[in-house]
A and B are shown apart, each in its own frame.
Chain A
Amino acid sequence: MKKIEIKIDAAGEVKIEAIGYTDGSCLAATKAIEDALGVAGERVRKAEAYQVGTGEKVKAGK
Chain B
Amino acid sequence: MSHYVAVKTVFKDQAALVQALEDVFGQGKVEISTDGAALFGYQGDNRSLLPASNGHYAPPCHVIVRQQNTGVGASNDLGWCRQADGTFRSYISAYDNGALRNSLPQLAQRYARAVAVKQAKLSGYTVTEEKAKDGTIKLSLSKWGG
A interface, CB within 8 angstroms of B: 1-22, 24, 26-27, 30, 32-34, 36-46, 48-50
Contact = CB atoms under 8 A, between A and B. Distances in A.
Interface in B1-41: 1-10, 12-13
B1 A21 contact: yes
Interface SS of chain B:
mixed
B44 interface: no
B100 interface: no
18 contacts: A2-B142, A4-B125, A6-B116, A10-B135, A11-B105, A17-B4, A18-B2, A19-B2, A22-B1, A32-B122, A33-B119, A37-B10, A37-B115, A38-B10, A41-B6, A44-B3, A44-B4, A46-B3
Contacts of A11: 105, 108-109
Contacts of B137: 7-8
Interface of B: 1-10, 12-13, 105-109, 111-113, 115-116, 118-120, 122-123, 125, 134-143, 146
A37 B116 contact: yes
A13 B108 CA distance: 8
A6 to B, nearest CB: 4
A4 B9 CA distance: 18
Contacts of A26: 1-3
B135 A22 contact: no
For the complex of A and B, list the 4 residue pairs with the smallest distance between their C-beta atoms, beginning with the closest. A12-B108, A49-B1, A10-B135, A38-B10
Given A10-B109, A12-B112, A36-B116, 8 more contacts: A10-B106, A11-B109, A15-B4, A32-B123, A33-B116, A36-B115, A37-B119, A40-B5
Contacts of B115: 36-37
A58 B127 CA distance: 32
Given A34-B5, A44-B5, A10 B136 contact: yes
A39 to B, nearest CB: 5
